[in-house]
Structure 1
Amino acid sequence: MVCILGIEGSANKVGVGIIRDGEVLANPRETFIAPLGEGFRPSETAQHHRQKIVQLVIKALHEAGIQDPEKMLDGIAHTKGPGMNAPLQVCAVVARTIALSWNLPIIPVNHCIGHIEMGRLITGADNPVVLYVSGGNTQVISYSAQKYRIFGETIDLAVGNCLDRFARTIRLSNDPSPGYNIEQAAKKGKKFLQIPYTIKGMDVSFSGILAFIESKGLEALRNGLYTKEDLCFSLQETIFSMLIEITERAMAHTGSKELLLVGGVACNLRLQEMARIMCEERRAKIFATDERFCIDNGAMIAQAAYLMFNAGLQSTVDKTTTTQRYRTDQVNVVWR
């Protein structure tokens, strides 16, 4: 049996997960919530992670029933990237420290691969097209020849970043997350504002959409023509439709009958509904998880590292680095 402890902290969530042969033994997590109207800055996020991470490691070991980590763990994993540099560094330092202390190998993991492999583990999806949507990433992905190939992606803002920034503009709370609060507000929206629909080939663009709704949308809001709920509804329907369109194209190209939704935005029930309708029309299966595994967590890093470890992939402490830019298609997926 192989048991891996994984540390994730690429954005405002810091988590420690423990996986043993595909079983999640522990997965505690803490979230840095920025003040109303503000986003989370790298320095403040890193400070939050420093304050929480040691207790999370202790909590994860306790939940997993691991009294002797040096003997009961086989490796330590951490997020190499992509993500915010300062938070990434906090987690890498802790991973290096405990790997040295417990004399264990260390495994740097691509954050995006962690989401995909956790999704495959939890849902049982075999070889799906993947719609990966989060605060920092937006990609349509499919596996081929030991690489996760990117069929389409955002050329500017990630979808989660677009939602977060609009939430701050209309003064929605960051607790529990801006995207969640937009989702709840959108359920009450009744009037649709026509918003630019921006697909460029297989890629999407959100910056112009955000600029439009922040200007024309807010003007309509001030004039009483639309409510906040109407604007949330209009934005969500438009950008999710764009994502489903390019995802369907990828499924048509590959002939895939499986779709896996991963990343924090994949928790959105409206996005899941739109994806389900599309899959039903194509006679395909949709796979999605709840917030325990959609949102950034340590177990997803542990699961990707578990697969890497079994394939003979590990690193030494002196070569363990982080990078803000680490693309999904840069990883050699030798375990598949």
Structure 2
Amino acid sequence: MNSSMNSLITTVTDSVTTALATTKPLFLWLSGATLGLLVVATLIGAVLAHRVRTPAGHDTVRNLNARIRSWWVMVALFAAAMLLGSVVTLVLFALLSYLALREFITLTPTRRGDHAGLFLSFFVVVPLQYWLVGIGWYGLFSIFIPVYVFMALPSLSVLGADTTDFLTRTAKAQWGVMLAVYCTSHAPALLWLDIPGYELPGALLLLYLMTVAQLSDVFQYVFGKLWGRTRLSPGISPSKTVEGLVGGGLTAVAIGTGLHVITPFTPLQAAGMSLVIVTAGFFGGFVLSAMKRDLGVKDWGTMIEGHGGVLDRLDSVVFSAPLFFHLTRYWFT
């Protein structure tokens, strides 16, 4: 037992050492910068909590501090997964897909005839899709869900001989798998891209995608709260403003351009890629907001304090990850 434990500790230690060595100073620099931003944000939140006087101000600051606390947890989990290697990162994203799919299905009621398809989605499709990503089988992982699973789900449901809302139920199941599993799986797929002349680990490309996508969300929120006046679409997302979208989006693009040093892109190419991530991320969040309004809910879940559910945090990634992955693969591999 002791020898097994020592072997496990040695393996983990070697993985961390190797990850730190191969990422050179860049990963440590980015980790330090992220840690510094979180510390500053925490201090600002603490100061604001003592200074605001109005009930509305208290609600805003309370929401901000809840988001900051959640970011501490999410950044720690993501950094740990990246340091421990590609397999751990893949497992983390598979778990996120499972949880996101559960949130989606929970809010879109199903019938007995759907149970076989749901079992397939959770316990076959999720692990198989991420296994295909992990072995780098691009040809199959890119069509497995949109072709084979899309045909299998209605085929299994129709065996239940329940035609009530059949088209709606089938579309919801397909859409849930598409968003939570297929689109999300393109994020860790970046780890397996083989780009000529790019010697840094693929983990930095994944970090680049997540950083630009999430910072775009953060800065759109900040710009919207500080200077937002023109509501973009109150019926879909009351908090989104034109000023927040433009200011936050441009800021995220500027940061993405500056981070070109961890990518195979030139500064101009990084600016273009960042713009794609920001634009796709915005429409991802907007589309999922429209779905939530249709379902009559504010958030997809309550798992993450201040952020709603897992799908609320992945909404900007589900649209941007496939585009970023395929553009990178097409132009740079």
Query: Same fold judged by TM-score > 0.5?
Result: no
Q: Give TM-score scaled by structure 2 length.
A: 0.25
Of structures 1 and 2, the one with the larger relative CO (CA 8 A, separation 6+) is: 1
Q: Give TM-score scaled by structure 1 length.
A: 0.25
More helix by share: 2
